[in-house]
Amino acid sequence: MKRYLVTPLVLVFIFIISFALQAQSNKLNLMPVPHKLSVDGGYFKLQKDFSISIKGNPDERLFSYATRVLRRLSNRTGLFFPQDVLTKDNTINNDEFIINCNRPGKIVLGEDESYDLIVSSGKIELNAETDLGAMKGLETLLQLLDIQNGDYVFPNVTINDKPRFPWRGIMIDASRHFEPVEVIKRNLDAMASVKMNVFHWHLSDDQGVRVESKVFPQIQKLCSDGLYYSQEQIKDVIRYAADRGIRVYPEFDIPGHSTAWFVAFPELASAPGPYKIERNWGVFDPTFNPTIEQTYEFFDKLFAEWTKLFPDEYFHIGGDENNGKQWNENKDIQDFMKKNNIKDNHALQAYFNNRILKILTKNNKKMIGWDEILHPQMPTNIVIQSWRGTDALVEAAKKGYMGILSNGYYIDLIQPAEFHYLNDPVPQGSGLNESELKRILGGETTQWGELVTPDNIDSRLWPRAAAIAERFWSPQEVKDVDDMYRRLDVINFRLEELGITNIKNQEMMLRRLTNNLETKPLKTIVDVIEPVKIYTRHSQGVKYQQHSPYSRVVDATQPESNIARWFRKTADKFIQNKDSKAADELKACLSNWKENHEKLLKLINASPILKEIEPLSANLANISETGLEAISLILSSKKADENWLTKNSSILEEAKKPYGQTEIMITSAIEKLINAVR
């Protein structure tokens, strides 16, 4: 396979980043930022005989976790540490690195995850009440690794750390596009590395029900296309997560988003069948019939089986986006509502939820669902997951309900890390008292599955999810966006050692797009574009379905362009003070983009799948020429004439148009350069 060469643009970017990192050399690369931290001066020098001593009464999983941390440390440094596998029966007593742990932690909401980490020149000590806290401290220690005077070192620090919120999660939708176990596991490893502790597994929707049932084997035979998790796989993932301090709970979305169920059980639907698994994306009519006893008899048997499969105390019933159409058109349902004085569909869904709640309660589960499950009839021991926003979450807390926030953390909407980072589960001025504040448990990042496959799901989650993890863990006042991005670059690189594929899979996808030809021209443009935002990708001339190709340029493009973000900031700096160094850097980039179009045309002719971005490439070349001319005018203190302004404003407007569901991310900077010479 051919490797792409490093472009001049990339060389410029590497130089800039290296300079920035050197300027920040005294700053630590910790993410999340700890609750309290002091740097004491000096270093602990890492030697080849480094070993770990674990004392106290932890669970066996801490020994396994420490073993994995030791191997990661060895792989980073190339040091041949003598210690192999840590176990309770195979411990080394030393005074170099001691972990003191009082007890095993329970994998439940609210368990103690705090730790204290003290690094001095001759000793490292990690103290934690539970092994869960010790795991968090081990990840912090790994992030502290630095290089000084040719040696690997840990800086001398004192850290007292604890999470701001007890619920810090990621939801992965494995229903719309099935995600194999290895995808789930590598993302669990990434979650643990940034101190996330909840995995929300979305396992049913219109496009499939993904869990094996021994009580109703029709589910895996008819409702899943053969793509489902066996019960042994479910148990394996839960064990894997627990060994990393992560809770796992399922979501089965009912009564709406339920088309796939009715392929096997049409008699439970609110309209007659037959049904087939939905291949399109959106909100659909099929809904469970809440007025017949067969529905509750079915869930009574099924959830008796599946609640035993998932040991977590919480069980998600979805409850969102029921459009009520089938209910409105079913005469028997309407008669039931009149007879039972149920005034509307919201009240009917509350009736359904209460019946399901009784089934879950019987099986020792607590209900969690989306905003729509909130109704005065519902008891206050349920948990509301809010996609509507902080106002809805705050209002629920005032009514006595616990909640978690997902609005603002919909990571599939392709918004920048900064947007998510500054979104807070409890915004300042919420008006909540102390007891109400405790009802806001935290939040979850939501990765819906319409536009992701195993090839690119990691790129849609990471590294932006790490910024969200910091928002859930760190003190509220930690809000320095520039420093967040500085540290995020380091975390992104480190995630690769855990198997996260967002960097390396892009190279694979580019090779596929070019039919294994030279990828440099494609990489040059991909580095400065992003997928269109929110849900506009579904309305730009392409009808996506479950079986559509997710192998186009838009799928290989990262959600956030670091180069474009740097370019915008550098353009601002240049416009403000005519900085000559900034001008040179901008011109180097613009010249490279201007010249790239002709090179990309050769690839497009050899690989027709690239044809859709040809206008985008031409527009990038055109606005790059505009940018170069604007910089020359600014440096010479000349204003542009009206003909130039008219011509280049038109070029800019054309460049703002998306092609292939992607858009150029330097147009705002070019617009500022044009305005600067008006």
Please give the positions annotated as active site: 321
Phi, psi of 357 (to 5 degrees): -60, -40
Nearest to 501 by CA among 462, 469, 536, 474: 462
- Concatenated DSSP letters of 556-607: HS-SS-HHHHHHHHHHHHHHHH--HHHHHHHHHHHHHHHHHHHHHHHHHHH-
Task: List, in sequence order, every residue forming a beta bridge with 127; answer none if it has no partner.
Answer: 100, 116
C-alpha span between 592 and 9 (Å, rounded): 6
* Maximum separation of any 2 CA atoms in the chain, in Å: 82
Q: Are 663 and 619 in contact (CB under 8 A)?
A: no
Q: Are 122 and 44 in contact (CB under 8 A)?
A: yes
C-alpha span between 302 and 319 (Å, rounded): 18
How far does Cα 528 stand from its chain's mean position? 21
Tokens of residue 199, six digits: 């995995």
- Tell me the one-letter amino acid at 443: G
Q: In b/e form, how buried is each residue of 446-455, taking b as 16+ CB within 10 angstroms?
A: bbbbbbbeeb
Phi, psi of 42 (to 5 degrees): 90, 180
Q: Are 423 and 444 in contact (CB under 8 A)?
A: no
Where do we find the tokens 């910024």?
467
Task: List, in sequence order, every residue forming a beta bridge with 250; answer none if it has no partner.
Answer: 201
Range list of β-strands (E), 57-141: 97-103, 115-120, 123-130
Does the CA dihedral 571-572-575-580 come out positive or negative? negative
Q: Residue 83 has what DSSP assignment?
A: -
C-alpha span between 447 and 153 (Å, rounded): 37
Q: 361 to each of 249, 312, 377, 429, how far by Cα in Å?
A: 15, 13, 16, 36
Q: Are strands 123-130 and 383-386 parallel, antiparallel or unpaired?
A: unpaired
| Number of helices (H), then strands (E), in the chain | 25, 18
Q: Are 219 and 301 in contact (CB under 8 A)?
A: no
Tokens of residue 494, six digits: 């480190």
Nearest to 498 by CA among 269, 136, 182: 182
How far does Cα 415 stand from its chain's mean position? 11
C-alpha span between 101 and 70 (Å, rounded): 18
Q: 39 to each of 119, 158, 604, how far by Cα in Å?
A: 9, 7, 53
**Judging by beta carbons within 10 Å of its beta carbon (0-12, 13-18, 19+), is residue 182 exposed, middle or buried?**
exposed
- Tell me the one-letter amino acid at 220: Q
Side-chain half-sphere CA neighbours of 484 within 13 A: 23
Q: 412 to each of 161, 355, 525, how far by Cα in Å?
A: 30, 33, 22
